[in-house]
Amino acid sequence: MSKKPSGHTRLIVGIGVAWLFDAMDVGMLSFVIAALHSEWQLSTVQMGWIGSVSSIGMAVGAILFGMMADRFGRKAILILTLLVFSIGSGISAFATSYGIFLGLRFIIGAGLGGELPVASTLVSESVP
C-alpha cells in the first residue's frame, strides 16, 4: 500500500535539501578561494575577505529576512531566501573580477543567513 508523504515530511525533506546546498556552498568555498588565488593572483588578505564578506552577509540576511518572515510569512520569505542564494550563486560563476565576486558573496551570504533561521522557525512551528 503506497502512502503519500505528509505535509510535515515534505517540509522537512525540502528544508533538508536546502540545508544540504547551503552546507555545500560553505564547504566548497575553501576550494573556490584556492582556485581564485591562482586565477586572480589574490593576496591572503583578499582571500580572507571572501569568507568574511560571506559571514557579514549572513548576519545581515538573518536580521533582515527574519524580520520580513515575521511580517510577510515564513514560507514566502523562505522561498525568497532560496532564490537570492541560488541566483547569487549562479551569477557568481560568471564573475570577472574580485570586486564583483565579493559583492555576489555578500548576496549569497544574505540568502544563506536568512534561510537558516527562517527554515528552522518554520519547521519548529509546523511539526508537532
The mean pLDDT of 18-23, rounded to a whole number, is 88
Query: For residue 11, what pLDDT is reported?
Result: 87
Per-residue pLDDT tens for 44-93?
999 999 999 999 999 999 999 999 999 999 999 999 999 999 999 999 99
Q: Identity (one letter) of the amino acid at 5?
A: P
Which of 18, 10, 124 is closest to 81 using CA atoms? 18
The burial class, CB within 10 Å (0-12 / 13-18 / 19+), for 35 is exposed
What pLDDT score does 4 carry?
Answer: 62
Q: Which residue has the cell 537558516?
A: 116
Task: Give residue 42's pLDDT.
Answer: 95
What is the amino acid identity at position 40?
A: W
CA dihedral (30, 108, 116, 28) in degrees, to 10, reads -20
